[in-house]
Amino acid sequence: MRSPITLPKDLDGYVFVVTYGRSGSTLVQNLLNAIDGYCIRGENANALVPLAMSWHLLTSYPNVTNAVTRKVPTTSEHPWYGAEEIRAFQYGRNLANAFVREVLAPPVGTRVAGFKEIRWTNDPAQFAPTLNFAYKMFPNTRFVFNTRDHDEVAKSGWWADMSVEAVKANLARADAMFAEYLEKHPERGVRIHYNDYTADLEALKPMY
């Protein structure tokens, strides 16, 4: 049964699993869902990205930010007519509200919601802005960056049909993006490694 929750602030927090395919992320999803009150959904085709980038444009494009800051009224002849009226924060929060309500749809009793996705790094330019949006618009957000030995990933699932060199380059790029984001924002998340926690459950402690 769906919860009557309609606002991100109605929950205690959010967890987003940031990873790539065949990394053990479904196992991580299941482990998190074993915690009482957690509802960590599966993949959603990277649906959060276009919402995040829409908000990012309104908070980073100079013509918009300057108009909002100056609050100088524009006329209907102005090419950026009405830009001074844009409320980017409220817009972003409403996008997050809709995402929680219509995509995550947390059931009754949920304390912490979220999802796991393997497509976060499809477009490197959108990676950090998307995570920044999630962190700012979903209260008490935490990211779990999940990685795995590249040789093992390259032999698994659809990766096995691709060039090993191409797969390893793709994974190395993703791991570097994860590491860079965590280095800049260590308070926002943790990194766990499949090969570590499948050998020793103590390696999962940072996630809890």
pLDDT for 5: 52
CB atoms within 10 A of CB 108: 9
Helix axes 124-137, 88-99, angle to 10 degrees: 90
Q: Which of 157, 152, 155, 138 is nearest to 194 (CA)?
A: 152
The domain spans of the chain are: 8-44+107-207
Query: Class for domain 8-44+107-207, per CATH?
Result: alpha beta
User: Given pLDDT bands bounded at 50, 70 and 90, which one contains residue 9?
Assistant: low
pTM given for the model: 0.92
Residues 87-99 have pLDDT tens digits of 999 999 999 999 9
Residues 116-130 have pLDDT tens digits of 999 999 999 999 999
Q: What distance in Å separates the CA atoms of residue 113 and residue 171, rounded to the nearest whole number?
A: 27
- Cβ pair 110, 3 in contact under 8 A: yes
User: 3-state class of 183 per DSSP?
Assistant: helix
Residues 94-113 have pLDDT tens digits of 999 999 999 999 999 999 99
For the CA atoms of 62, 96, 126, 174, the dihedral, rounded to the nearest 10 degrees, stands at: 150
Q: Check residue 34 and give left, alpha or beta (phi > 0: left; psi -120 to 50: alpha).
A: alpha
Strand duo 141-147 + 112-117: pairing: unpaired
Residues 143-183 have pLDDT tens digits of 999 999 999 998 878 767 788 899 999 999 999 999 999 99
